[in-house]
Structure 1
C-alpha cells in the first residue's frame, strides 16, 4: 500500500492536532505508555512563543497511509547547540511511527534532506527537542511505565533506526533506589568526612522567593553541566519557561542546596512521579476530575524522580553529591508511601556521577540511547 510524507505547519491548528494526537493510535494497546497532557505538548510545539525556537529552526512532517496518520518526525536545526559544541549536528525528534521500515525510512530521509541543506553533517536523536528536554530512545525494560518527563517507545523503534544505519552516540542511564534501604557504611563515611573537611550547611528552597531561587538554580545548572557531552546552556527565559509549572508540584523540602561557606555550591531536585496520575488520564485532557487527581496526589504516588543534581565546577570532588543524596533520602523517609526513587538521566560516560550511585547500591535499571548517522 502506498503512503505519503506531508510537511505540516505547526502554526496550523489542524496540522498540529494531527501531529500531537498520533501517539494515541501508536500506543492504544500498550499498557505501559503514559499519555502526556495535551496542553503540555501543545505548549512545547508552540513555535511562535516557546523560547527554545528563538535559537533553533524546525520542520515537521506526517506520514499518511490510506488517509490515516501513521508516523511523524521533527527535524531540528539547533543553532545554539552547534555554536556551543562547535559542530554541525542536526537533530530529529518527536519521532513516532507504526512498525513499518519503509515509512520510518521515508520520515528519516525527509528530515535528513532538510538538515543536510542546512549544512549539517550528521543527524542525531531522538531529541524532543533537545537534551534539556525529554530525549533518548528506550532500549530496554519496556515492561515498566516511564517516570515523569522520561521517554517511552515500542521495542521496534530501535530495530527501525538500526536498520536505517543509525549507531549509538551516547547512552543515558536511569538508576533505581529503594529509599528505605540503609546506605552502605562507605557512603556514610564519605559523607561525614566531606562535612568535616569543608564547612557545609544546607537549606531547602524558599517558595515565597521562587524567582530568586530559580536564578540560583539556573546559575548552578549551567555551571554544573557545561562540560557534559551534548549539553547546551539554556537561556534564562527558556529555563524560566521550563520551570514555570514546577512550583505547584514540588515539595520544597525536596529541593535542597548544599552551601559551602554560606554560598550555594550545589543542589538536588526531586519531584513526585506524576506519571502515576497521568496514567489515570488516558485522554491527555484536563477534565475537572483530572485536575482533582493532580491536586490530591500524595496517596496516589509511590515513586519519585531526582531530575536534577548539580555541583558548581569549583566545588567538585568535595563529596557534595553524596551529602545531597543522603539528605534527600532522609527527607523521602518522611513520606513512607514512596517506595522507589529514580535518578535520571545520567550520561553513561559521566564517571563522577555514576561511581557514587553504584557505591550506594543503585541499579542502572533503564537505558536510553541517542543514535546518530552521517549525512
Structure 2
C-alpha cells in the first residue's frame, strides 16, 4: 500500500479552470514534438459560457496534487446527445467519458481515473470511454503511434507511456482512429486520374469552392451533409444549432474557398471536403504566443498559407450515394482539385487525411488508392463501471 498523499480536487470557477489548462500546457511542453496551442483557445474549450458543447453536456474537471504541487489532471463528462445513440455506434445509454488526461506517474494516473469513474458512476453511468477531450469533434483518442513527428492543426499529441497506464487501469481497446500522410507534390496514380477525368466529363457533376459571402449558409450545407453522411458512424454525435454557429465563427478565418469543396449533383449539394492549412507550423514557430510578434506570423499565414501542409479533417457523401461508384468518384475529384490548388497556389507538398475509423472500408480504400500511408493512430478505450 502506497504512503503517498495524492489529493484530487474538483475544479470550480475561472481561476481553477485556468490552472487546469496551464497544467496541461506544462505536460505538453515536455514532449519534443508538441506544438504549443493558443492559451486563449484552450481556456475557451473548458468554459461552459463559451463552448456550446456544454449546451448538451455536463463535465467535472479534476486536478491532482502531491505536496501542494499539481501532478496531473483529468475531465469526466457526459454528452447527453451521445446517451441517445444506439449502443452499436459506440456510445448510447449509460456511457460517460473521460478526457484531458495527464499524469506524473502511473499511481497518479490511476487515482485520477478512479476519481473520474466515481463521478460518472455517481451520475448513473455504467460505462466509460476515452480519452475524449471534451467533444468527439475536438480531440478524440489517445495517440499510440506517431509521437516521432508533430501533429497537424486540431490534433492531439500524447506521450507513449499513457497507453500502458490507461490499460493498467482496466481499460480495453474500443476503436482506432487513423490519419494518413500524403505526398501531394507528385501526381496521383493513373487509375485515380482516369476516374477524375470521367467525372469531369459528367455534366451532372459540379465542384465549387465554398462561398464565403454566404458563409453561414455554406457551413449549414456542409454540416447538414455531414450529419447525414456520418449518422451511422461509430462515435458520431450530431452538431447542434449552437455548435454550427460556433463552428462558422471559428473556421471562417482559416478556410480558403479554393481548398474547401462542395460537390453538386444536378445542382444539389451531395458531398463536401474541408481542408485546413496546418497553422501548427506557425504556432510552433511562435511557441503558441500571439505577443509580441506571434500575431503577425499568424495573420500572414491566414492570409496566404504559403508552403504549409494541409489537413483534411472532414469529408462526406450523402448516405444515399455511399454504396455507389459515385461516392468514391466525388471523393477523388475533390481531392484532386484541392491538391492542384494547394500545390499550384500555395506550394504545399504534404497533406494528412484524418481521422478515419479503422473499419471505415470506403475511406480506407480511398486512402490506399491515392497511395497515402498511416502515420498516426489514436485509440479510444472503454471500461464497464
**Same structural fold, with TM-score higher than 0.5 when normalized by the shorter chain:** yes
- For the aligned residues, what is the CA RMSD? 1.6
Q: How far did 1:197 drift? A: 6.0
Q: Is the deviation greater in 326-335 or in 294-303?
A: 294-303
Asked if 1:296 corresponds to 2:300, the answer is yes
Asked if 1:342 corresponds to 2:348, the answer is no
Asked if 1:372 corresponds to 2:375, the answer is no
- Helix, strand or coil for the counterpart of 2:286? coil
Q: Which residue of 2 aligns with 1:51?
A: 52
Residue in structure 1 matching 2:277, options 256, 272, 293: 272
Change in Cα spacing, 1:192 to 1:87, as seen in structure 2 (3 Å) is farther
Q: How far did 1:288 drift? A: 4.0
Residue in structure 2 matching 1:206, options 211, 219, 229: 211
Residue in structure 2 matching 1:330, options 322, 335, 340: 340
Task: Supply the distance in 2 between the matched residues of 1:163 and 1:279 (Cα, whole angstroms).
Answer: 33
Q: Which residue of 1 aligns with 2:160?
A: 155
Task: Supply the distance in 1 between the matched residues of 2:307 and 2:121 (Cα, whole angstroms).
Answer: 45
Residue in structure 2 matching 1:175, options 161, 177, 180: 180
Q: How far did 1:369 drift? A: 0.6
- Please show how residues 247-266 of structure 1 align to structure 2 within 5 Å: 247-266=252-271
Q: How far did 1:196 drift? A: 5.0
Task: Supply the distance in 1 between the matched residues of 2:133 and 2:381 (Cα, whole angstroms).
Answer: 13
Q: Which residue of 1 aligns with 2:37?
A: 36
TM-score, with structure 2 as normaliser: 0.92
The superposition leaves residues 321-347 of structure 1 with CA deviations (integer Å, 9 ceiling, x where unpaired) of 111111111111213531210011011
- Please show how residues 224-243 of structure 1 align to structure 2 within 5 Å: 224-243=229-248
Asked if 1:353 corresponds to 2:353, the answer is no
Q: Is the deviation greater in 167-176 or in 42-51?
A: 42-51
Task: Supply the distance in 2 between the matched residues of 1:155 and 1:72 (Cα, whole angstroms).
Answer: 17
Q: Is the deviation greater in 307-316 or in 227-236?
A: 307-316
Residue pair 2:131, 2:381 contacting (<8 A) in 1 also: yes
TM-score, with structure 1 as normaliser: 0.95
- Helix, strand or coil for the counterpart of 1:226? coil
The answer for unaligned runs of 5 or more in structure 2 is: 87-91
The superposition leaves residues 45-93 of structure 1 with CA deviations (integer Å, 9 ceiling, x where unpaired) of 1113421111111111100112111111110111111112343211001
Task: Supply the distance in 2 between the matched residues of 1:121 and 1:187 (Cα, whole angstroms).
Answer: 47
The answer for unaligned runs of 5 or more in structure 1 is: none
The superposition leaves residues 16-59 of structure 1 with CA deviations (integer Å, 9 ceiling, x where unpaired) of 11101012322333221111111111111111342111111111
Residue pair 1:218, 1:236 contacting (<8 A) in 2 also: no
Q: How far did 1:215 drift? A: 1.4
Task: Supply the distance in 2 between the matched residues of 1:74 and 1:243 (Cα, whole angstroms).
Answer: 26
Task: Supply the distance in 2 between the matched residues of 1:65 and 1:368 (Cα, whole angstroms).
Answer: 30
The superposition leaves residues 186-227 of structure 1 with CA deviations (integer Å, 9 ceiling, x where unpaired) of 212223344556711111111111111111112111111111
Task: Supply the distance in 2 between the matched residues of 1:87 and 1:25 (Cα, whole angstroms).
Answer: 35
Change in Cα spacing, 1:263 to 1:344, as seen in structure 2 (3 Å) is same
Task: Supply the distance in 2 between the matched residues of 1:212 and 1:105 (Cα, whole angstroms).
Answer: 46
Task: Supply the distance in 2 between the matched residues of 1:154 and 1:366 (Cα, whole angstroms).
Answer: 13
Q: Which residue of 2 aligns with 1:77?
A: 78
Task: Supply the distance in 2 between the matched residues of 1:266 and 1:152 (Cα, whole angstroms).
Answer: 30
Asked if 1:223 corresponds to 2:232, the answer is no
Asked if 1:307 corresponds to 2:313, the answer is yes
Q: Which residue of 2 aligns with 1:96?
A: 102
Q: Which residue of 1 aligns with 2:10?
A: 7
Task: Supply the distance in 2 between the matched residues of 1:192 and 1:202 (Cα, whole angstroms).
Answer: 13
Q: How far did 1:141 drift? A: 1.8
Q: Is the deviation greater in 252-261 or in 45-54?
A: 45-54
Q: Which residue of 1 aligns with 2:89?
A: none
